[in-house]
């Protein structure tokens, strides 16, 4: 296994991310991270000369949201029609904080 990261590197990463690690954990994490990096070595088999890195795999996709369109909706009366309790045109629900009761 190639030594891509040293224990000093791992300590620096842990300090930067504010993760407390014992010396045993640093040693094991160094082995684990180097193993992960080694597993990515197969990517080097591909000819990527001239391939531009992309931020998003779909490329020029910029906005997947639809345009806002005004459409017919429920009236207030139909929305409240099956409400167990209502007050002043609003749903009346039990309070979950404080002393309880309807709010």
- Per-residue pLDDT reduced to its tens digit, 28-52: 999 999 999 999 988 888 998 898 8
Listed in order, strand segments (DSSP E) in 17-95 are 86-87, 90-91
Mean pLDDT of the chain: 87
pLDDT tier, 59 (very low <50, low <70, confident <90, very high otherwise): low
In the predicted structure, residue 81 carries a pLDDT above the cut 80? yes
How many alpha carbons lie under 13 Å from residue 5 in its C-beta half-sphere? 21
pLDDT tier, 97 (very low <50, low <70, confident <90, very high otherwise): confident
What single-letter DSSP state applies at residue 40? G
């Amino acid at each position: 296994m190639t030594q891509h990261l040293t224990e000093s590197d791992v300590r620096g990463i842990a300090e930067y991310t504010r993760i407390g690690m014992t010396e045993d954990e640093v040693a094991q994490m160094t082995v684990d991270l180097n193993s992960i990096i080694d597993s990515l070595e197969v990517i080097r088999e591909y000819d990527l000369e001239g391939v531009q890195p992309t931020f998003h795999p779909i490329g020029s996709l910029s906005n997947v949201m639809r345009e806002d369109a005004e459409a017919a909706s429920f009236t207030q009366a139909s929305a409240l029609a099956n409400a167990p309790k209502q007050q002043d045109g609003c749903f009346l629900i039990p309070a979950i904080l404080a002393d309880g009761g309807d709010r």
